[in-house]
Amino acid sequence: MARLFPHMHLQNFFSDELNAEILAYAVDKQLDFKPSVVYSKGTQHVSDSRISLTLHDCGIYKNIIQEGISKLIPEMITALKLSRFNIGEIEVQFAAHGDGALFTAHIDTAVHEKTENPRVISAVYYLHSIPRKFEGGNLRLHTIPIGEEDEKPKDISPDNNSLLVFPSFAPHEVLPVIAPGVDFKDWRFAVNCWIHKA
């Protein structure tokens, strides 16, 4: 009795040129990345459950990424078997994962508080240098204990230039990254995008 939420993993999401530009932008902003925070009970704090660095300033790539994601929303809604909803804000942030980085199992929406404009769809755009210098760091999609099926958790490789899309209420985890002595430019990068309901 377990099932996975529908999800979609698209390879070669942007052109090779744009992919390289976005990665170069993130690498260049190394000093602006800050320790990632988690939100609980209305406050945000650094926690052992989320070890990574985050950058909120996406520069000129904010609009470009939002547009790339927007175009795909109808397809996402179909693939994820969601009901249609009015599209609100699309949040965009960079995350960088070096040696020991992880994010324990969580969901991306708030469940304990009533939110008017919740996150509905999570879309993660992955970037890394080639050849890949880190190991681990797969995104694990967890199952929930319902239905007749006996599905297993699914590990998804954070391939450069791929976009993973899943419902924000689906439990997921970033498995530990192994990258001792690996330079920042060769870390596991992601652009986290959250599509909110209006």
Query: Which residue minimizes CB distance to Fe ion?
Result: 108
Using the minimum distance from each CB to ligand AKG, give the nearer residue, 72 or 177: 177
Q: How far is the CB of 148 from ligand AKG (least distance, A)?
A: 28
Min dist. Cβ of residue 103 to ligand AKG (A): 5
- Specify the 3-state DSSP secondary structure of 63: helix
Q: How far is the CB of 151 from ligand AKG (least distance, A)?
A: 20
Strand partners, 140: 155, 173
- The residue type of 50 is R
- Please report, as residue ranges, which positions from 133 to 192 form the binding site for Fe ion (by CB under 5 A): none
Q: Structure tokens of 26?
A: 């993130």
For residues 94-133, which are near Fe ion according to CB under 5 A? 108
165 contact choice in ligand AKG, Fe ion, none (CB below 5 to 8 Å, kind-dependent): none
What DSSP line would sit under 4-51, residue for residue? PPP-EEESS-S-HHHHHHHHHHHHHTGGG-EE--EEETTEEE-BTTEE
The residues binding ligand AKG (CB under 6 A) are: 95, 103, 108, 124, 139, 158, 172, 174, 190, 192
Q: Which does 7 bind (CB under 5 to 8 A by kind): ligand AKG, Fe ion, none?
A: none
121 binds, among Fe ion, ligand AKG, none (CB under 5 to 8 A by kind): none
Which residues contact residue 43 at a Cβ distance below 8 angstroms, ignoring those fewer than 6 apart? none
Nearest approach, Cβ of 108 to Fe ion (angstroms)?
4
Q: How far is CA 94 from CA 18, 30, 109, 184, 188, in A?
A: 15, 11, 18, 14, 11
Give the residues lining the site for Fe ion (CB under 5 A). 108
